[in-house]
Structure 1
Amino acid sequence: MASRVTLVSPAMSPSLRQTRFYAGEPIDDLGAARARSAAPVLPSPARTVTSPSVRCEQTAAALGLDAVASPELAGSDMGRWRGRTLDEVMAAEPESVARWLADPGWAGHGGESVQEVCERAGSWLDATREADGRILAVVEPDLVRAAVVHALGLPAAVFWRLDVVPLTATELSGRAGRWNLRLGRPLDGPGSSATNSR
């Protein structure tokens, strides 16, 4: 039996626009409108889940999904950096940012390491093999990266080389312990603005 998992990144929010470490902000009006217009292009899932964050839950609602929040799909715990922009953190702690970007096992900000997020996402992804049918998950951008790293057996250091654009779908299908990847396709049509996210 093949497992099919579609990972949808959240719609645009102020923290994504500002490259700010997420601290619970909602999606913006334009992001909500684009999510509503994208609803018809989504596959029909057997089960729908979401990261337990405001922006993922609001994106799921705007997409017309009745999703259940799953604690294991929470975004990275960024510790003391939560709510700050990347530029602010780089100005205050340049060595720490350099270490965070270079060492997947580093968690000196007081939260989770990239390696821990990849392991957590991988455990969830592996557990989906027991589920029947298609799963659609509206998840934080870092969870999309982490799931792809795990699915393809990539080293965790590749995490930062994967860009996740708001409101895109990344599809994974697996059978017999092997995953195939269909890279993120936009859900909101040709007029969307492609912005990388942290």
Structure 2
Amino acid sequence: MTSRLVLVSPAITAALREARFDDGSPLDAVGLRQARAAAGTLPAAERVWCSPTVRCRETATALGLDAVAVAELAAMDAGRWRGETLAEVQTREPEALGRWLTDPSAAPHGGESVYAVCDRTAAWLDSAARAPGRTVAVVEPELVRAAVVRALGAPESAFWRTDVPPLTAVELSGRTGRWNVRVGRTL
């Protein structure tokens, strides 16, 4: 049985523009306008899910999707860095930030490591692969990265080398253990 997953990254927010770790901020006016303009561009799906974050729920709604928030699709836990900019963390904890960006097992902020996010995403991919038909999920960029890394069997060190622009779709088709990846379709 072939499953099809369309992973959509959320629209732009002020936090994203500021390189700020997710702080629960909503879409900004530009992001909301862009998401509304992209409504109707996604294929029909048997299931529509989203990350429980504000920006993913708002993006799904603006796209005209009736998405169900799924806990397994939560954003990467940035621990004590939540709400801070990369520049702030770099100034205060340069060694810890460097370790986090280069060592997939590191979680100096007290949250999740890249390995943990990749493992969590892989478990979700395995369960999604058992569902027939198409699934559309509006998820945080780090979950798209993790899905691509695991689908391709790439090392977790490739995580930070995968750019995920706002309002783009990555499509996975296949089954557990074997995925084909189509990257970067702009909505």
Identify the residue that residue 3 of structure 1 maps to in structure 2: 3
Unaligned runs of 5+ in 1: 188-198
Q: Look up the equivalent residue of 1:70 and give its one-letter code.
A: V
Alignment of 1:5-44 (within 5 A): 5-44=5-44
CA deviations 1:102-149 (Å, max 9, x no partner) are 100001111000000000000001111111110000000000000111
Alignment of 1:56-95 (within 5 A): 56-95=56-95
Give the RMSD, CA atoms, in angstroms.
0.8
Structure 1 residue runs of 4 or more that deviate by more than 3 Å after TM superposition: none
Q: Secondary structure of the equivalent of 2:136?
A: strand
Q: Look up the equivalent residue of 2:183 and give its one-letter code.
A: L
- Pick closer, same or farther for the CA change 1:176–1:110 going to 2, 3 Å: closer
Distance, in Å, in 1 between the alignment partners of 2:106 and 2:177 is 29
TM-score, length basis structure 2: 0.98
- Pick closer, same or farther for the CA change 1:176–1:112 going to 2, 3 Å: closer
Distance, in Å, in 1 between the alignment partners of 2:184 and 2:125 is 17
Distance, in Å, in 1 between the alignment partners of 2:79 and 2:51 is 18
Q: Look up the equivalent residue of 1:3 and give its one-letter code.
A: S
Identify the residue that residue 124 of structure 1 maps to in structure 2: 124
Distance, in Å, in 1 between the alignment partners of 2:8 and 2:175 is 21
Q: How much does 1:177 deviate?
A: 2.9
Q: Secondary structure of the equivalent of 2:142?
A: helix
Q: How much does 1:46 deviate?
A: 0.7
CA contact (8 A) 2:79 2:110 kept: yes
Fraction of identical pairs, as percent: 60
Q: How much does 1:44 deviate?
A: 0.6
Would you say how many aligned residue pairs link Structure 1 and Structure 2? 187
Q: How much does 1:178 deviate?
A: 0.8
Distance, in Å, in 2 between the alignment partners of 1:73 and 1:185 is 21
Q: How much does 1:26 deviate?
A: 0.1
Identify the residue that residue 113 of structure 1 maps to in structure 2: 113
CA contact (8 A) 2:129 2:176 kept: no
